[in-house]
């Protein structure tokens, strides 16, 4: 009875699944703490741990035993280095890649390590980024752990031989210095590495965990396997909020199944266990944010305010066709060469620099003109409701509209996007299919449906839809909000 109650406390605080570590390990930790507190029995210790947050933290310290080393599993760091060299050092992380205008991506690359344990992982990330050609001023690493004792060791940056397994560090003296005689035996991380890591005590299950922080890469390896289902879901949601569009998420080898049916694409690098966050239109529903249909893309440098008319939005948009093709049809990682018109290519005086991938096909010489027309009044009202976060009301209004106007594909497109915002993928899929049935050239609906099929794991159908969308892009179709 006492054991079950203590395990429930740990589950509430940490999301810990007792079966993942074994009840015997928890029992031994309780025994150690009972002796340390000089209490006569388990019942007395239970009363203490229930009433004292400090003692609960001490019990957590006894249960959470660090097991990590530098460059553990090696390949995640190899892929991070490859990515940074190809996409940061060479191309300077053009802001368009992540669809975020408010962060100066040229200045600082942000990485999160959670849980960071005694520091080997975040320091390995720092060494990887330095080896990739970045300077300390070009990146910042946040390292979070629930254990205060682990963080004390991490901040000290002193390690013994057990932290160096498998010979992963080829040039040890470059980033470490041997402790002077008379001090504790071991190797000390040099300041250039230690000062690039910001250690934070925190619990990923806390509602305000890293609220407002955003990262280009997150390492969360070998945490999910210790959590119960509800906690795993909560952690993934927290990490997803913190990860920028098209950012990298690194998991442990036994955790890859957790990303099924989510907006993430597996990176084709053996044993990296890395995922790319797929770009989707911004469907935030919190107060003050904007419900973005794909006609108002995150890549639009001149994005219109939420109260702009649909006609103005369409006039100012960057084509969803170009947006989606850049992000999904050309390669798993973006080629950030700017798309040029034929005239721009001639003016540049260097036609050989024009992109040769799918991107080159997105500016046909004789594009078909877009038919721009405002939404019908009820749909405009529904869009405005969605902009204010009132998605349920917006969906009801759209449903009412399509019952009376069943032949308008633009209505089904908007309704599908609203259902995506409500996290109702089956209803969204039904709407996009109807839009395509009514208008076979409904490019945006094809884009949405392809992404939904990928999330469902239906890769064959997703590829078919992507090829169909690509053919429309090559023919110069611009998505018409009227569905013509």
250-296: pLDDT as tens digits: 998 888 778 776 888 889 888 999 999 886 544 343 333 333 333 32
Token digits for 231?
């906690």
pTM of the model: 0.56
* Average confidence (pLDDT) over 35-61: 88
Rounded-to-integer distance, Cα 284 and Cα 266, Å: 24
**DSSP assignment, residue 71?**
T
- Looking at CATH, the fold of the domain delimited by 310-474 is given as 1.25.40
Given this model, what pLDDT does residue 119 score?
A: 96
The length of the chain, given as a count of residues: 484
Q: Residue 242: which of 268, 274, 217 has the closest Cα? A: 217
Read off the pLDDT of each residue in 354-381 and give the average, rounded to a whole number. Answer: 45
Read off the pLDDT of residues 177-209 as tens digits, 9 standing for 90 and up. Answer: 887 653 456 889 999 999 999 999 999 888 888
Dihedral (Cα; 154, 156, 162, 168), 10-degree rounding? 70
Helix, coil or strand: residue 275? strand
Answer whether residue 42 shows pLDDT above 60. yes
pLDDT, mean of residues 200-227: 90
Which residue shows structure tokens 């949405």?
448
Measure the CA angle with vertex 297, ends 84 and 368; round to 5°: 110
Given a contact cutoff of 8 angstroms between Cβ atoms, the answer to whether 156 and 148 are in contact is no
pLDDT band of residue 128 (cuts 50, 70, 90) is: very high
Fold adopted by 75-277: Rossmann fold (3.40.50)
């Amino acid at each position: 009875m006492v054991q079950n109650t203590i395990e429930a406390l740990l589950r509430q605080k940490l999301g810990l699944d007792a079966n993942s570590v074994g009840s015997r390990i928890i029992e031994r930790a309780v025994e150690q703490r009972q002796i340390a507190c000089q209490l006569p029995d388990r019942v007395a210790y239970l009363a203490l741990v229930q009433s004292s947050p400090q003692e609960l933290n001490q019990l957590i310290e006894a249960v959470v035993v660090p097991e990590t080393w530098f460059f553990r599993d090696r390949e995640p760091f190899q892929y991070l280095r490859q990515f940074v060299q190809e996409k940061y050092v060479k191309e300077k992380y053009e802001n368009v890649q992540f669809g975020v205008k408010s962060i100066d991506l040229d200045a600082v690359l942000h990485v999160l390590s959670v849980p960071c344990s005694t520091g080997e992982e975040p320091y390995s990330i720092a060494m990887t980024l330095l080896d990739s050609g970045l300077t300390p001023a070009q990146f910042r690493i946040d390292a979070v752990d629930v254990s205060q004792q682990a963080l004390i060791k991490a901040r000290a940056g002193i390690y013994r031989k057990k932290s160096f397994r498998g010979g992963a560090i080829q040039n040890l003296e470059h980033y470490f210095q041997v402790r002077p005689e008379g001090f504790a035996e071991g190797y000390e991380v040099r300041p250039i590495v230690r000062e690039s890591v910001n250690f934070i005590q925190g619990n990923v299950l806390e509602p305000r965990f890293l609220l407002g922080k955003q990262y280009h890469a997150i390492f969360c390896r070998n945490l999910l396997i210790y959590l119960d289902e509800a906690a795993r879901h909560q952690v993934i949601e927290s990490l997803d909020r913190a990860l920028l569009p098209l950012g990298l998420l690194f998991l442990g080898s036994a955790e890859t199944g957790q990303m099924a049916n989510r907006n993430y694409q597996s990176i084709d690098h053996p044993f990296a266990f890395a995922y790319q966050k797929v770009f989707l239109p911004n469907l935030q529903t919190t107060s003050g944010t904007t419900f973005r249909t794909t006609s108002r893309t995150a890549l639009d440098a001149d994005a219109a305010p939420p109260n702009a008319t649909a006609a103005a939005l369409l006039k100012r948009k960057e084509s969803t066709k170009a947006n989606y093709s850049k992000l999904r049809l050309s390669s798993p990682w973006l080629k950030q060469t700017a798309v040029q018109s034929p005239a721009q290519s001639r003016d540049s005086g260097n036609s050989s620099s024009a992109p040769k991938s799918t991107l080159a096909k997105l500016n046909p010489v004789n594009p078909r003109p877009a038919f721009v027309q405002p939404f019908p009044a009820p749909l405009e009202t529904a869009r405005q409701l969605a902009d204010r976060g009132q998605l349920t009301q917006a969906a009801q209004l759209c449903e009412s509209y399509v019952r009376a106007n069943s032949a308008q594909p633009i209505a089904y497109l908007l309704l599908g996007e609203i259902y995506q915002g409500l996290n109702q993928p089956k209803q969204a899929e039904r709407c996009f299919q109807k839009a395509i049935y009514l208008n076979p050239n409904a490019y945006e609906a094809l884009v949405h449906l392809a992404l939904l099929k990928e999330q469902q794991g239906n890769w064959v159908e997703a590829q078919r839809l992507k090829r169909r969308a690509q053919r429309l892009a090559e023919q110069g179709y611009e998505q018409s909000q009227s569905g013509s």
